[in-house]
A = this chain, B = another copy of it.
Amino acid sequence: ISGIGSNGQVRSISVEALKPSDTFPRRHNSATPEEQSKMAEICGFPTIDALIDATVPKSIRLNDMKFSKFDEGLTEAQMLDHMQKLAAKNKVYKSFIGMGYYDTFVPPVILRNIMENPGWYTQYTPYQAEISQGRLESLLNYQTMITDLTGLPMSNASLLDEGTAAAEAMAMCNNIEKGKKKTFVIASNCHPQTIDICQTRADGFNIKVVVSDVKDIDYSSKDVCGVLVQYPGTEGEVLDYEGFIKNAHANGAKVVMASDLLALTMLKPPGELGADIVVGSAQRFGVPMGYGGPHAAFLATSQEYKRMMPGRIIGVSVDSSGKPALRMAMQTREQHIRRDKATSNICTAQALLANMAAMYAVYHGPEGLKTIAQRVHGLAGAFAAGLKKLGTVEVQELPFFDTVKVKCADSKAIADAAIKSEMNLRIVDKNTITVAFDETTTLEDVDKLFQVFAGGKPVGFTAESLAPEVDNKIPSGLVRKSPFLTHPIFNTYHTEHELLRYLHRLQAKDLSLCHSMIPLGSCTMKLNATTEMMPVTFPNFANMHPFAPTDQSEGFQEMFTDLGDLLCTITGFDSFSLQPNAGASGEYAGLMVIRAYHKARGDHHRNVCIIPVSAHGTNPASAAMCGMKIVSVGTDAKGNINIEELRKAAEANKENLAALMVTYPSTHGVYEEGIDEICKIIHDNGGQVYMDGANMNAQVGLTSPGFIGADVCHLNLHKTFCIPHGGGGPGMGPIGVKKHLAPFLPSHPVVPTGGLPAPDQADPLGTISAAPWGSALILPISYTYIAMMGSKGLTDASKIAILNANYMAKRLEDYYPVLFRGVNGTCAHEFIIDLRGFKNTAGIEPEDVAKRLMDYGFHAPTMSWPVPGTLMIEPTESESKAELDRFCDALISIREEIALIEKGKADLHNNVLKSAPHPPSLLMADTWTKPYSREYAAFPAPWLKTAKFWPTTGRVDNVYGDRNLICTLLPATQEEEPAAATA
């Protein structure tokens, strides 16, 4: 036996080699160094850095991003360890706080197969209906659930939170009255955050908000467009609003009701009481509290006002073969069409959470939901009965559903005693406490509460023993009699196998990042790494009430502080607010900061907002919501803002200039050279620069909004910072500001917040979101992304994102005109290819190319925005060269298909593009009348032979659906014949 005893050579090991080797950036950033060089060379540059130098204007180039924490980046293992430790710093006490947030048990089958499943969470908003029928069905279930429970016939597919949903309803009332009645009354029985959000929002709309007791509302001014009441009220009381609504209507005011879905399984629905609009949160239907969100809010209304509904709405239509098929309805209401005339700026909403809530209803069914509600009501009743027996406090004799109101000598003392038992109560005022019950409350919890209220004295009974004494606290006139969730979908999938299969059936219809790149310009569909997603479902993050005492949420607080610091370093700002729940919400919040700043300086008149025509539709919509006057400026042939026009506009509006809204790099995918000059012009004319951070993926580590000269910016964390799109949300739109604006960052009426880091003084603009830190539960995603990438990894990401875009542009430029490039001929992280010519040469529209891409297994790039007739392609840094090549190959192949039409070799109307997509039902039909072959239709590229994603319907008819609007599930029998159903 040889080799015994070492004959190895002495060698020196580098310390690097002993450090963890599996670093995260190489998993996130696609291209290897060799590939980077090769691709740069193809683009005409010796190195990637040379390409970047030629692309990012020198004047704004930064070279020294450095983090005070996580600068080198943690490995995934280190990160998970860190997140476990952060989570352990949160103390998850039993919550009886209520106020719109209730603990709930997420059915594990939904947790694992939706919330923890990239097949669901990496989907994009279902703009491409033919490869989105799964989530479209689920969202239609959601809308049906909302209409059934509220008793109103129309619902949207979610809003950001209950508070902003109420504010949207207020705007609807204002719009219904065409802006002629400027008073909106809010009942004092609404949640405080709802009231504050509406008050803040009213400001921009120039609406006067009156907060009043329900009993004391005064309509005599004739100026009341609407009233908002809550049902049940924030302190638990269940009022019968039937007479109240009649009276409001008689006085020409619309009635908005904020309500609770679980309560509505037992209570007469608002629609039957006569309400015009109902809003609320679907959180307690199986969506974790998550320290504030994300959750799906809802808004339902009557047929009359359906076209005024904000947000996305799913509707039934037909496909090219006449079969029922779903798609987003009435898109012409949205901001990209209506811009500053839009009725709302909402864009990204809460699709993933709406899906979870809908599936919760599918799983429990109407009977299951009613059982849960009755149990919650019974526990509240047992609690009230017990307190009366104890006699230590005074139980208010009110009708209630789940919340018991109590008068006492010292609410704080009781709440503190409860905290000692790891329970949180709501202190309403010095002498008032409420105790809200939910699905997770047990008889043992009620007994623990008795002990708290008994103040240590022995309790001679148990919740269980009180059961026989409990009386129903719902007034008989308000007991729900109408059925709900009668559709088979809500009455079939009640075992785990049935639900599992339903979820997977729907999932299989939808293309997501699990299948292929989704190169949506302006949307940054990058990797949503598993390590980033895992903490989202750690129980110690997921199960916290947003209004829990902050000393219980140290883990969250530490993360907020560090995230604030990191984002400040990345953006060059001084302070951040994490409150806005989406990009558009951030825009609105940022403009409101500017507005507050001007006001604080006495510049009440500054209300002009300059917006380039190329801006995203949410920009003008948000500005309009702040009461600003929009002045448009054009772009030049190169796609850059016309600086002279801008200068003139700024100077002309010098006295009243409030702000400029600018996206950088531009929505055309170009680093405008004049951006610093643009900022200077605005500042010189007394305005503030609002930067839309949607394109931050081209800035991180290379430049920054703060460095460029912006005063405020929102970040779409669901773009640059890895929060997945969830099929249309959740998102997060935190805003960063320069020091002078920090005092105005939003606060919150229940848990005061402000800038992170906190400015010296605060003068908050009001409240933007229902939760103090917005959708706190998804912040770990962005936090871990930044912490694992480190400063260098992030900078590399920006570089590779730019390289990838330029590489694709290079590969495609011989086939499609590439619009807009920078001074050195490069594009930023995205680029636009022009399809307009094909309309004349081949009768081909961008939609035809988009639909044909589905046959190749791809989701289309952003279509006809910002330039009609084009596609905007954004590959992101996470896509490998192989994937980029595959996508280019598909587009090149499609170009050849177009050429066949141009040459007359394919029919102008009956061709493989016009008939796309080709679902199996079409491809395997017995008759085949197309002039091309089935095989070519289905397998036009080699990779499709290995794995093919199948569109499940033919092309969906948008016009038909909008003309025959159906936004709830078709009765089961009609599913085969929607035409008949609408006839």
Contact = CB atoms under 8 A, between A and B. Distances in A.
B495 A9 contact: no
A12 B118 CA distance: 47
A48 B814 CA distance: 72
Contacts of A509: 947
Given A8-B399, A477-B7, A478-B3, A926 B933 contact: yes
Interface stretch (A16-24, A51-59, A712-720, A963-971): A16-24
A382 B475 contact: no
Interface in A475-533: 475-478, 492, 494-498, 500-501, 504-505, 508-509, 513-517, 527, 529-531, 533
Interface stretch (A106-114, A173-181, A418-426, A561-569): A106-114
Nearest to A4: B239
Interface in A626-661: none
A533 B113 CA distance: 12
Contact of A6 (B18, B116, B471, B513): B471
A938 B920 contact: yes
Nearest to A105: B77
Nearest to A75: B105
Contacts of A241: 1
A858 to B, nearest CB: 12
A375 interface: yes
A558 interface: no
Contacts of A9: 471-472, 476
A475 B3 contact: yes
B111 A443 contact: no
A639 B174 CA distance: 79
A552 interface: no
A627 B544 CA distance: 61
A925 B937 CA distance: 10
Interface in A133-173: none
Chain A interface bracket (under 10, 10 to 19, 20 to 34, 35 or more): 35 or more
A11 B471 contact: yes
Given A475-B8, A920-B948, A368 B494 contact: no
Interface string A6-43: 11111111110111111000111110000000000000
A867 B560 CA distance: 65
B474 A13 contact: no
A103 to B, nearest CB: 10
A500 B443 contact: no
A382 B371 CA distance: 63
Contact of A496 (B20, B28, B950): B28
Contacts of A378: 13, 17-18
Contacts of A12: 467-470
Most buried by B among A468, A494, A514: A514
B463 A18 contact: yes
Contact of A494 (B8, B26, B80, B372): B26
Nearest to A364: B22
A2 interface: yes
A240 interface: yes
A440 interface: yes
A80 B477 CA distance: 40
Interface string A93-129: 0000000000001011101110011110000000000
A399 B368 contact: no
Nearest to A2: B240
Nearest to A6: B399
A21 B371 CA distance: 7
Interface in A330-378: 364, 368, 371-372, 374-375, 378
A618 to B, nearest CB: 28
A551 interface: no
B921 A926 contact: no
Interface in A931-949: 933-935, 937-939, 945-948
Copies in the complex: 2
Given A84-B539, A946-B505, A244 B1 contact: yes
Interface stretch (A198-206, A760-768, A874-882): A874-882
A495 B18 contact: no
A113 B108 contact: no
B443 A18 contact: yes
A825 to B, nearest CB: 29
Contact of A938 (B238, B371, B924): B924
A903 B338 CA distance: 66
Nearest to A244: B1
Contacts of A533: 112
A883 B397 CA distance: 50
Contacts of A508: 508, 947
A798 B660 CA distance: 70
Nearest to A385: B13
B239 A382 contact: no
Contacts of A921: 939, 945
B495 A880 contact: yes
Contacts of A13: 378, 381-382, 467-468, 470
A934 B924 contact: yes
Contacts of A937: 924
B8 A473 contact: yes
A243 interface: yes
A239 B3 contact: yes
A318 B467 CA distance: 69
Contacts of A105: 22, 76-77
A923 interface: yes
Contacts of A684: none
A442 interface: yes
Contact of A374 (B17, B119, B364, B514): B17
Nearest to A498: B880
A57 to B, nearest CB: 30
A214 B1 contact: yes
A242 B8 contact: no
A15 B515 CA distance: 50
B8 A474 contact: yes
B18 A947 contact: no
Contacts of A935: 924-926
A378 B508 CA distance: 46
Contact of A497 (B108, B237, B527, B933): B527
Interface of A: 1-15, 17-22, 26-30, 76-77, 80, 84, 105, 107-109, 111-113, 116-119, 214-215, 237-244, 364, 368, 371-372, 374-375, 378-379, 381-382, 397-399, 440, 442-443, 463-464, 467-478, 492, 494-498, 500-501, 504-505, 508-509, 513-517, 527, 529-531, 533-534, 539, 878-880, 882-883, 920-921, 923-926, 933-935, 937-939, 945-948, 950
What are the 4 closest A-B residue pairs judged by CB atoms, nearest first?
A3-B240, A108-B530, A8-B472, A504-B514
29 contacts: A2-B243, A2-B477, A3-B238, A3-B240, A3-B399, A3-B475, A3-B477, A6-B399, A6-B471, A6-B473, A6-B475, A8-B399, A8-B473, A9-B472, A11-B472, A15-B464, A15-B467, A17-B378, A18-B379, A18-B382, A18-B464, A19-B375, A77-B105, A497-B517, A497-B527, A497-B883, A920-B948, A921-B945, A924-B935
Given A8-B472, A18-B467, A76-B108, 17 more contacts: A3-B239, A3-B240, A4-B399, A6-B471, A11-B471, A15-B443, A17-B467, A27-B494, A28-B496, A112-B118, A495-B880, A496-B527, A496-B529, A497-B527, A497-B878, A921-B939, A924-B937
